[in-house]
Amino acid sequence: MQRMYLRFVFAVLVVCVVLFVAFSYRAYLFAKAEDMKYPGIGIEDSVNSKIVALTQIRSVSRVTFSNDQKCTIGFARNNAYEPSDLHLFLLRGDSLIKKKGNDTLNVIRNGKSFLFRLGNAIN
């Protein structure tokens, strides 16, 4: 009787592990598909548009602009602002300006300009 109980517990454990791995892999594939929809913004990219949708995930921002352009904005920090990390600073309705060949991001909010640098902390 005890042997059957051990087999049952082992079978349940194996099923739980298989389900955990399957759901983890599915979540990984979903995240990878989302990453493909929102390519990372780099030095050679340019942006001059208003933010219409914004999601903060894993300390980056996935942004959709009014011109339907989508991008992921990585680390940028300016310690002169609160919050200082760009992914927490950005709000829907902000305008973002970035010139090609430049790492400076200019966030326009209520007529004021806020500067960040891609991949760097300033101030």
33 and 91 fall within a common domain:
no
Number of Cβ atoms within 10 Å of the Cβ of 87: 22
Distances (CA, A) of 23 to 10, 27, 31, 58, 84: 20, 6, 12, 19, 35
Question: H-type helices in the chain, by residue range?
Answer: 2-37, 86-89
pLDDT given for residue 33 in this prediction: 72
Q: Is the same domain home to 10 and 29?
A: yes
Q: Is 83 left (phi over 0), alpha (psi -120 to 50) or beta?
A: beta
Verify that 30 and 60 share a domain, yes or no: no
On whether both 31 and 51 belong to a single domain, the answer is: no
Residue 42 domain-assigned?
no
Same domain, 117 and 75: yes
- Residue 55 covered by a domain: yes
Domain containing 82 equals: 47-122
Choose among 15, 101, 86: nearest CA to 56.
86
**Residue 51: which of 38, 63, 43 has the closest Cα?**
63
Q: What pTM was computed for the model?
A: 0.72
What is the tally of structural domains in the chain? 2
Q: What is the pLDDT of residue 3?
A: 84
Question: CB of 106 within 8 A of CB of 90?
Answer: no
Q: Is residue 97 part of a domain?
A: yes
Q: Is residue 73 part of a domain?
A: yes
List per-residue pLDDT tens for the chain, 123 residues long.
688 888 898 999 999 999 999 988 888 887 777 777 888 898 899 999 999 999 988 788 999 999 999 999 999 999 999 999 999 999 999 999 999 999 999 999 999 999 999 999 998
**Residues 59, 42: Cα–Cα separation, whole Å:** 16
| 33 assigned to some structural domain | yes
